[in-house]
Structure 1
Amino acid sequence: MLTKNNAKFIKSLQLKKFRQKEALFIVEGEKNTLELLNSAYKVKTILGSEQFLSDNHLIISKAGAETIEVTDKQLASLGSFKSNDKALAVVHIPTEPTYERRGIQLVLDDIRDPGNLGTIIRIADWYGIKSIICSETTAELFNPKTISASMGSIFRINVFRRNLEGFFKEQSGIAVYGALLNGDNIHKTKFDKEAYIVIGNESNGIRETLLSFIEHPITIPKLGGAESLNAAMATAIICDNIFREA
């Protein structure tokens, strides 16, 4: 049974300060919750409709989480999804994994929009990229909008938060590509199999303090009249070119 105190606590996790204080975040919707249950994340509580809890009894029991049956109205009131009528989970924020320098990795410089971040995580998952390094000013990983936009990919990608200037000073022997307005045509660029791909802020691009680390500036040729591409669109185009001949 859902108590008023439980409901109040879960609603509080919509706010970053409470997520950080409690080291918990919420996952909303049937798809994301099922993706969560198939991951290594530790689940504290599953709230679901009678049908959801019944249909997924085995995988929920394996998670060892508290389960609470709730109504459609209660689910809609607890999270940010007004159309959620299946499930919501309260999840422990994991410790950051050990960093491994391997393959193609995305580096996100000041990506402020959580929806963009979540979509980039989903793109990385599609192309088999295992790690993303985020600047300290990039959107919070466990923002509900980030989780929603990732469509479950957040549970398969290692995401690290770093001071990027310090991070690049520690790296050597690996190519660094950066998405810039004045760069080499990405359609004619041959990418190393191990590389960092730097994607800049939605409005301002890559910070000037990082430009000295970029050995290979790249650009997506503009053929029409659009003023710009958002960060997620640009990331998808770049990734497709990187892996086109993989």
Structure 2
Amino acid sequence: MSSLTTPQEVLAVIHMPEWPPLTQSNLINRFTLVLDGVQDPGNLGTIIRTADWFGIQHIICSEDTVDAYNPKVVQATMGSLSRVKLHYTNLATLLPQFNLPVLGAMLNGDNIYTANLGTQGLIIMGNEGNGLRPEIEKLITQSITIPRIGEAESLNVAIATALFCSEVSRKALVL
């Protein structure tokens, strides 16, 4: 029942939920993650688990983001997949429908630690190798970056997402 060589000794059967369509009222007064082309199953699973930790209720995924029910994704969520609502859609069509701030993770954005991030909005994280698509980049109202101190070229998308979630949560607690 597992593709792993040494699987856990636990098996769960769960109902695959179908969430109602997203509306602006679902997203008011909170942050929502938006994933543009995240391909690595381990990254998506970690992002879902991180969202659950920080109380983020919705993740909006581009149609080419890895399937949330990929076995590696499911394993990496450690159960969080049953609590976080994932929505797969055409981002370029859906996002303009919401009247919310759109924070984009970019290498040349405002410093996440000093920027005013507000208390609600969409946080867009890009593909592991290519970043955000140009048509999605155009929708960003504020580019945000995690300041680089060392020499690494980039951060893993799951790690960067965790840092974004931590910072918006920290700032929300201070307000």
CA distance in structure 2 between the aligned counterparts of 1:186 and 1:229, rounded to whole angstroms: 14
8 Å CA contact 1:97–1:158 kept in 2: the answer is no
Q: Which has the higher helix share?
A: 1
Percentage of pairs with the same residue? 45
1:50-83 per-residue CA deviation (whole Å, 9 max, x = no partner) reads xxxxxxxxxxxxxxxxxxxxxxxxxxxx212332
CA distance in structure 1 between the aligned counterparts of 2:113 and 2:69, rounded to whole angstroms: 34
Whether 1:79 and 2:5 are equivalent positions in the alignment is no
What pairs up with 1:222-237 in 2 under 5 angstroms? Answer: 222-237=148-163
CA distance in structure 2 between the aligned counterparts of 1:180 and 1:98, rounded to whole angstroms: 28
Unaligned runs of 5+ in 1: 1-77
Unaligned runs of 5+ in 2: none
Moved over 4 A (4+): none
What is residue 84 of structure 2 aligned with on the other side?
Answer: 157
What is residue 9 of structure 1 aligned with on the other side?
Answer: none
Q: Which protein is bigger by CA-based radius of gyration?
A: 1
What is residue 121 of structure 1 aligned with on the other side?
Answer: 48
Whether 1:215 and 2:133 are equivalent positions in the alignment is no
Amino acid of the residue matched to residue 44 of structure 2?
A: L
- 3-state SS in 1 of match to 2:48: helix
TM-fit CA distance, 1:98: 3.9
CA distance in structure 2 between the aligned counterparts of 1:143 and 1:85, rounded to whole angstroms: 17
Higher RCO by CA contacts (8 Å cutoff, separation 6 or greater):
2
Amino acid of the residue matched to residue 43 of structure 2?
A: N
TM-score normalized by the length of structure 2: 0.91
What is residue 123 of structure 2 aligned with on the other side?
Answer: 197
CA distance in structure 2 between the aligned counterparts of 1:141 and 1:85, rounded to whole angstroms: 20
TM-fit CA distance, 1:109: 0.3
1:99-133 per-residue CA deviation (whole Å, 9 max, x = no partner) reads 22231000000001111001000110111111000
CA RMSD of aligned residues (A): 1.3
